[in-house]
Amino acid sequence: MLTDDPAAVGRRIRALREERGISLSELARRAGIGKATLSGLETGVRNPTLETLYAVTGRLGVPLAAVLSPPAAGDPHVDAPVVRGAAVEATLLEVIEDPDATYELYRIRIRAGATQVSPAHPAGVTEHLTVFRGDVTAGPTEAPQQVGAGGYLRWNADTPHLYAAGTDDADASLLIRTPRT
């Protein structure tokens, strides 16, 4: 679920879809979600999960941060957008734009006992996970890796990938690099 204003997120999704000349039905099909679900997102009557937002933004070819409100200047703990999925709670801390890529920095908490599968991102996207507390299994669904506190993982995120914590919740940072097309 999303702490950002669902109506504002919906307006951004609709604008991106229309800029690309994609119909509502076509984007819903590409993202693997129902047309009614996408319509509800665009009108702000549905509060999307992290998995749903990744499915939609991935098919639009944009980073997740493109549909979220920017984090508050100065203090990332104040009014930072938070998106929750099956296992992951992600707080957007910073968006960095450079000529070659967009970098999104998230603080994430992974709930113990739950697994979250994230859909494939566009080609060339990489994820960089640094674990601060707990044990995490993450990476491509066909070959996830385990890492504990103080560890780091990197993977190409253009295939489905997963996140799971060990017996306790895990805290980490996630840096997502999306190359410019």
Residue 4 CA to residue 8 CA, distance in Å, equals 8
Domains in the chain and their CATH numbers? Answer: 6-66 (1.10.260.40), 82-179 (2.60.120.10)
Give pLDDT tens digits for 77-102: 556 788 889 999 999 999 999 999 99
Q: Give the chain's count of helices (H) and strands (E).
A: 4, 10
Confirm if 164 and 87 have CB atoms less than 8 A apart.
yes
Residue 15 CA to residue 49 CA, distance in Å, equals 20
Directed axis angle between helix 50-60 and helix 6-19, to 10°? 20
- How is residue 46 written in tokens? 């549905």
pTM of the entire predicted model: 0.86
pLDDT for the residue numbered 106: 94
- How is residue 1 written in tokens? 């679920």
Of the pLDDT bands very low, low, confident and very high (cuts 50, 70, 90), residue 180 is confident
**pLDDT of 76 above 70:** no
